[in-house]
Amino acid sequence: MSTVNETAEPASKVELNQSGDGAGAVESFDIILKVRRYVPETSEESYWDEWKLTMYGTDRVLDALHKVKWEHDGSLTFRRSCAHGICGSDAMRINGRNRLACKTLLKDLDLSKPITVEAIKGLPVEKDLIVDMEPFFQSYREIMPFLVTSGHEPTRERYQSQKDREIYDDTTKCILCAACTSSCPVFWTDGQYFGPAAIVNAHRFIFDSRDEAGDMRLEILNDKEGVWRCRTTFNCSEACPRGIQVTKAIAEVKQAILARSF
């Protein structure tokens, strides 16, 4: 056997920055994370807690919260499930704007100032960053977020043209994180307001050609606390982590109610 001079295969085929500490060429920076804490067992008042952390360019706000919980203060309480922007568990108020902690990169924030993290507004806070979502889901359930049909069930799927599907495509993206509803100034002062999320999910069925209860949903939302409460401040559209044009959807429901009445 003749062994040819063969160079050993490198550990990584990607060129890594040799001087790095394992994180490759990813930049690292110090941040100050300020979290609004609320611990009902010890105090009725909320207070700000802050930590100085060394984080990396690939880290998100959720990673910073994890670092605090796992390495500094295990009592910090927040919800998160998938950590990849689809379960809708970790909506919170980051630097005064409703965002998913798992979709907000630290490097996109202003790191010269402390990063503030608070629970979303308008819903009762249970502890730290966890709010009671029940009022939110109560409104969601009221608009009947399920397909309603009559007659015999078809033996195969219910057909829908691509064009008909396109009409409500935007509102199918909702993950029920409550970022929109809890960014709405009307909802902050009036908890009875259905809120953008419920209207978005009603929109998803009202404009579905296969659904037959659109009229009922329009009647539900033609309420004092329904779509007419919307002041088109666009906070919800700005807050939506899924990029849903929430205010546009609400306007379409308003138009549908008007079209039904005249």
Strands 28-37 and 97-100, sheet pairing = unpaired
Structure tokens at 29: 């920076």
Binding test (CB under 8 A) with another protein, winner from 6, 134, 153, 157: 134
214 near another protein (CB under 8 A) = no
CB 33 within 8 A of CB 56: no
257 near another protein (CB under 8 A) = yes
228 near another protein (CB under 8 A) = yes
- For residue 140, give the nearest of 99, 189, 177 by alpha carbon: 177
Q: How far is the CB of 194 from another protein (least distance, A)?
A: 8
Could you report how far apart the first and last alpha carbons of the chain are, in Å? 91
What is the DSSP secondary-structure string of 28-61? EEEEEEEEEE--TTT-SS-EEEEEEEEEETT-BH
CB 179 within 8 A of CB 123: no
Binding test (CB under 8 A) with another protein, winner from 27, 132, 164, 215: 132
Binding test (CB under 8 A) with another protein, winner from 111, 225, 238, 245: 225
Strands 125-127 and 91-94, sheet pairing = unpaired
User: Pattern 77-116, binding to another protein, x per CB under 8 A?
Assistant: ----------------------------------------
DSSP state of 196: H
Q: Judged by CB under 8 A, which stretch of 16-24, 57-65, 143-151, 222-230 contacts another protein?
A: 222-230
217 near another protein (CB under 8 A) = no
Q: Judged by CB under 8 A, which stretch of 1-9, 64-72, 169-177, 218-226 contacts another protein?
A: 218-226
Binding residues for another protein (CB under 8 A): 124, 132, 134-135, 138, 185-186, 189-192, 222-226, 228-229, 231, 254, 257-258, 261
